[in-house]
Structure 1
Amino acid sequence: MSIEIQPDAIHDIKYNDFWRRRPNLAAPGKSRFGGRGLIALREIKQSSLIDMACTVEITEEQCLQLDEIHPIGDFYFAHPENPKAGLMAYGIMSFCNHAEHANADIRWERHDSLGWLAILVALNTISQGEEITYRYKCPLWFSAGA
């Protein structure tokens, strides 16, 4: 059985080309901080869109419950409009580790039919093999290294 997307259903999506041709710029790998991280598969130019993901909104109550479940509670993002809520991103950007001087940022866009989109963008050129990092926009629940 094949599923056909009706052209009218995607005309309002701002990032049509990205969704159709998702670039393979990064993948989960071993982090320099220990554990897993997001690693550049090739050079990524400054301002490049690295990844984009749909999200699901998490209520304050759900955030509190997730915070008690390790490591699952470590993988949601601070909500851009509600500091007590969160967003869970479907995609590889959840592997981004925190760095005070990060090389990427997540931009949030609210879309009528898709909800919140998480858009990972390079802040500067990122070399092949370099870990892609993001400065978390919430109180840290761990000790941040150098």
Structure 2
Amino acid sequence: MLSSVTKFSVCAILAALIVGSLASQSPGEKSPPEAKARSNSDSSDYAKARRNPDSPDCEVTLDGFYSLATNDSYQAARRKLGCSGELAAKTDMLGYNTVMVTWRGNSWAGNMNATFQNNKLISKAQFGLK
């Protein structure tokens, strides 16, 4: 049986995730039910970001990283970076489809990742790109 502290902690974490997802929605964005309908049709696009990268020669650059803009689609990111990347995580919760994709960089240990929510870039990070 879970203690009341554990139950409270789980509830607090879930509430923070829900509030964070809702707070990140811009006023002009679709409501969650409409977003869910749209995200279901877009999920096949992420199939290209597999556990195995599509090309061992694909290495992203710092210029490629900087070319990505907030609200870019995953398809636009693929075009700008030149390859699909590697699926790191995916979740569907309350009408929000969230996907994190990683790419190898053009230097030793260089890499980048991008997070897409309902097929819009919401965050990106890089380490050691040239």
Same fold? TM cut 0.5: no
Q: Which has the higher contact order (CA 8 A, sep 6+)?
A: 1
Give the structure with the higher percent strand.
Answer: 1
Q: Pick the TM interval, shorter chain.
A: under 0.3
TM-score, structure 1 length as denominator? Answer: 0.24
TM-score, structure 2 length as denominator? Answer: 0.26
Give the structure with the higher percent helix.
Answer: 2
